[in-house]
Amino acid sequence: IYTFDSAMTGAPVLSGSAGALRALVKACLVDGFGAGAVATLTVAAGIATATFPGAHPYRVGSVSQFAGATPAGLNGQKRILSITTNAVTYAAPGIADGAATGTITHKVAAAGWQELFAGALANVLCVKPTVPEATGCVLRVDDTGTINARVRAYESMTDVSTGAGPTPLESQLAGGLYWPKSSVANATARPWYLVADERAFYLAADPAGAGRFTLLFAGDIASFKSGDAYGYLVTGNQADQTFATTVSDGCCGWSHRSARSGAYMVRSHTAIGQSIAMQRLGAHHNGSTADVYAGTAGYSLGTYPNGPNNGLLTSVLELHAMGIRGTLPGLLHPVQDCGGAFTSGVIVDGTDDLAGRRLMAIRVAPPSGSVTPGAVFLDITGNWSR
C-alpha cells in the first residue's frame, strides 16, 4: 500500500487551478515526488539508515525509491520503518554492516500505474494499473477546469479522448463525474490524502479547507465474482459540490439505503451491457437514518467505545446492483457513533481480527455547513484482499 498526503515535503499542491489534480494523481500513481540527494546511507544489523541534507517527505509506512547505492540491494522501493527530522530507516536483510557508496538519490515512490497518451492533451490524464491481474480499465481525468476535474472510466482507450465502455455513460451523467478540488478558483492549497495499491486508489479532498473530506475511489473492487473482468468502479459527485452543505454523493464515507448515485461500474456481473449505477451500503448500516455518514448516530446501533470489549467496531462498504457485487477494498466503516473521536491522518492499530493492521482515519463530511463529520478508516498495512 502506498500512502501520500498534502503535508509531505515536496507533495503536489491541490488547488482551484487547472491541472492541479492531474499533477497530484500523476505524481502519486506514476512518477513519485520529493526527489533529492541522500547524504549518508549506512547498514547495521539488517537496518539501513538514510540521512538527508534537510527535511524529507516520509512517514512511517510510506515507500521510498532509492537509487545509485552500492551495494545494489539498498536500492529500489523500501518501506520506511522509522523517521527523525532528517533521517529514515528501512529493512536491509542480507546486507553487510557498513556505509554505502555512490551518488545516492531518493524520492517518494509511485504506486506503479502507467500513463497512456502522455502529453497528448493539456491537463488531461489517462492512467491504468500495470499488474496483469487488474481488469485493465482506464481512468481519464479531465482537469482543464478550475474547482472540479471531470472524471470517467473506460474499458479501453485508443487515444486520449476516445475509448470503449465509457463509465458513466453520457446519458447517465453528461461530461462525467465531478472530482472536487477547491471551492474557489485560485491557487490556495487544499488538504488531501491519497492511498493506493497496484489496482485501485482512494483520494480524499477537502475543497473548502475546513477539515471535511470527500472520499473518492477508482479501480478494481473486491468482487464476489471470481475473475470479474468488469469489476472496476469509479465514484464522484453528480454536480459541482465543492461548497455543498449536504452529503457529497460521490463520497465513499457514507452509506445510502434510499438512493443510487455517484458510483458506476463498467458493466454488470453478467458482463453484458454498459455502465451500471451502483448503490453503496454499509454491511452494518442498520440504524435509523437511511442516508448517513459512517461513524455517526443513525448509521448503526452502537456508541464508541463498544461496552463489551471497549473497542472500535468496523465493517465493509458493499456495492449493490443486481445483487451484492462485492466490497470496496481496504475501506472500513465504523459502525458506532465515533466521528468526533478521530482526526484525519491519525493512525490506529487494529486489534482482534485486524491485529497487525494499521488504519488511517479520514473525517468525511460535506465541504461546508453544520452536518456532523463522520469517519472512515483505510487499511495502510499491506495488500488489499481481492
Q: Kind and range of the H or E element at 379? A: strand 374-379
**pLDDT tens track for 178-192:** 999 999 999 999 999
In the DSSP assignment, the letter for residue 255 is E
pLDDT band, residue 302 (cuts 50/70/90): confident
Q: Where are the beta strands (DSSP E) in 84-147?
A: 87-91, 98-99, 105-108, 114-116, 124-128, 138-142
Mean pLDDT of 34-50: 98
In the numeric block, which cell numbers belong to residue 219?
Answer: 479501480
The domain segmentation of the chain, as residue ranges, is 33-108, 114-379
Residue 256 CA to residue 177 CA, distance in Å, equals 18
Residue 374 CA to residue 103 CA, distance in Å, equals 47
Residue type, 134: A
Mean pLDDT of 293-319: 93
Mean pLDDT of 359-368: 98
Name the one residue in this structure whose C-alpha cell is 448503526.
Answer: 300
Query: In CATH, what number does 33-108 get?
Result: 2.40.30.20
pLDDT band, residue 260 (cuts 50/70/90): confident
Residue type, 217: F
Q: Kind and range of the H or E element at 25? A: helix 20-26
pLDDT band, residue 259 (cuts 50/70/90): confident
Whether residue 242 is predicted with pLDDT greater than 90 in this model: the reply is yes
Are 135 and 231 a contacting pair, CB within 8 Å?
Answer: yes
In the DSSP assignment, the letter for residue 133 is T
pLDDT band, residue 301 (cuts 50/70/90): confident
Q: Are strands 124-128 and 138-142 parallel, antiparallel or unpaired?
A: antiparallel
Peptide bond into 71 cis (omega under 30): yes
Residue type, 265: M
Name the one residue in this structure whose C-alpha cell is 451502483.
Answer: 278
pLDDT band, residue 275 (cuts 50/70/90): very high
**pLDDT tens track for 307-355:** 998 989 999 999 999 999 999 999 999 999 998 899 999 999 998 889 9
- Per the prediction, the chain carries an average pLDDT of 96
Mean pLDDT of 216-231: 97
- C-alpha dihedral, 352 to 204 to 263 to 250, nearest 10°: 120
- Residue of 302, 248, 254 whose CA lies nearest to 281: 254
Are 162 and 156 a contacting pair, CB within 8 Å?
Answer: no
pLDDT score recorded for residue 385: 82
Whether residue 193 is predicted with pLDDT greater than 90 in this model: the reply is yes
Residue 191 CA to residue 75 CA, distance in Å, equals 31
